């Protein structure tokens, strides 16, 4: 990353139209999930990437990463996979976002809806309205069904289709791509496959929305016919 990232990489990320969030779990001094969305310096961006990639005994020979941020004791962190329940399989949860003015502005600009969470025990300010995204699409490089990523509905999932003829071989290849250096040809293949999976989801989503719209129109027509029949007294 020291070679690849430009000096203003953190600024580029912060100024993107959407929200870039990197997840990790802090084990000490507080046991909590962390979802970082703002990066003050290039070094803080690099630290966030390292935190979100700290898989015990794989990324390094140690069970966790020690972060020295100027305090007497270090922060102990691990990969974001451990910050969410098993059924999310590492997909971040928007509930873990720490809202600030910049994040609030970005989410509202993306069309986030406002909900009153005054009854939520985690809400610190009863009068505060928090912008949240009312729908989350989980995206995974592994088939949702194969790895048990069940936190989202089928229409809210983007991932490769499971290879029913050779599921073991498919997972073996995907884990190899995730854990070992890959050739340029393999990386391009993965990119194209991810693009195709996203296009398929877009096509299916358009069909689903059209079906929902047709059903809504049909129901409205039925309701109108019933109301008209009631007015004419034909139902009695």
Written in H, E and C, the secondary structure of 48-117 is HHHHHCCCCCCCCCCCCEEECCCCCCCEEEEEHHHHCCHHHCCCCCHHHECCCHHHHHHHHHCCCEEEEC
Give the span between the Cα atoms of 233 and 229, in whole angstroms: 6
DSSP 156: G
Q: Is the peptide bond before 29 cis (omega within 30 degrees of 0)?
A: yes
Element (H, E) at 223: helix 184-232
- Contact between 144 and 155 (Cβ < 8 Å): no
Same domain, 121 and 156: no
pLDDT tens series, the chain, 236 aa: 888 899 999 999 988 877 788 889 999 988 988 888 888 899 999 999 999 989 888 888 889 999 888 778 899 999 988 888 889 888 887 776 665 666 666 666 655 544 443 334 444 444 445 545 677 889 999 999 999 999 999 999 999 999 999 999 999 999 888 888 889 999 999 999 999 999 999 999 999 999 999 999 999 999 998 888 888 877 65
Residue 58 lies in a domain: yes
Q: Provide the pLDDT for residue 159.
A: 94
Q: How many domains, the chain?
A: 3
**Tokens read off for 217:** 């129109």
Q: What are phi and psi of 214, to 5 degrees?
A: -65, -40
pTM: 0.70
What is the spatial distance between Cα 152 and Cα 158, in angstroms, rounded to a whole number? 10
Residue 1 counted as domain residue: no
Say yes or no: 43 and 117 in one domain: no
127 and 142 together in one domain: no
Q: Are residues 79 and 117 in the same domain?
A: no
* Phi, psi angle pair for 22, to nearest 5°: -115, 125
Together in a domain, 228 and 143: yes
Residue 35 within a domain = yes
Helix (H) or strand (E) holding 25: strand 22-28
Residue 104's pLDDT is 65
Instruction: Write out the H or E segment, with its range, that includes residue 158.
Output: strand 157-158
Burial label, 84 (beta-carbon count in 10 A; 0-12, 13-18, 19+): buried
Range of the domain at 185: 138-232
Question: Are residue 127 and residue 186 in the same domain, yes or no?
Answer: no
pLDDT, residue 114, reads 44
In a domain, 208, yes or no: yes
Same domain? 25 vs 89:
yes
In this predicted structure, what is the pLDDT of residue 121? 41
Residue 4 lies in a domain: no
Residue 3 within a domain: no
């Amino acid at each position: 990353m020291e070679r690849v990232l430009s000096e203003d990489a953190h600024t580029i990320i912060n100024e993107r139209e959407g929200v870039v969030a990197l997840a990790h779990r802090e084990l000490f001094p507080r046991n909590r999930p962390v979802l970082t969305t703002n990066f003050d310096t290039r070094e803080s961006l690099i630290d966030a990437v390292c935190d979100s990639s700290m898989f015990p005994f794989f990324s390094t020979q140690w069970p966790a990463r020690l972060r020295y941020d100027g305090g007497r004791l270090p922060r102990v962190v691990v990969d974001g996979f451990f910050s969410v329940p098993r059924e999310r399989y590492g997909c971040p949860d928007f509930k873990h976002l720490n809202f600030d003015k910049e994040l609030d502005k970005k989410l509202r600009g993306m069309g986030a809806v406002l909900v009153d969470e005054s009854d939520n025990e985690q809400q610190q300010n009863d009068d505060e309205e928090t912008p949240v995204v009312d729908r989350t699409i989980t995206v995974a490089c592994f088939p949702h069904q194969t790895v048990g990523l069940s936190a989202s509905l089928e229409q809210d999932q983007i991932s490769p289709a499971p290879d029913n003829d050779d599921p073991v071989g498919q997972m073996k290849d995907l884990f190899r791509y995730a854990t070992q250096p890959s050739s340029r040809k393999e990386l391009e293949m993965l990119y194209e496959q991810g693009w195709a999976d996203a296009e398929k989801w877009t096509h299916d989503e358009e069909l689903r929305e059209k079906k929902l719209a047709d059903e809504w129109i049909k129901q409205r027509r039925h309701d109108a016919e019933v109301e008209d029949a009631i007015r004419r007294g034909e139902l009695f």
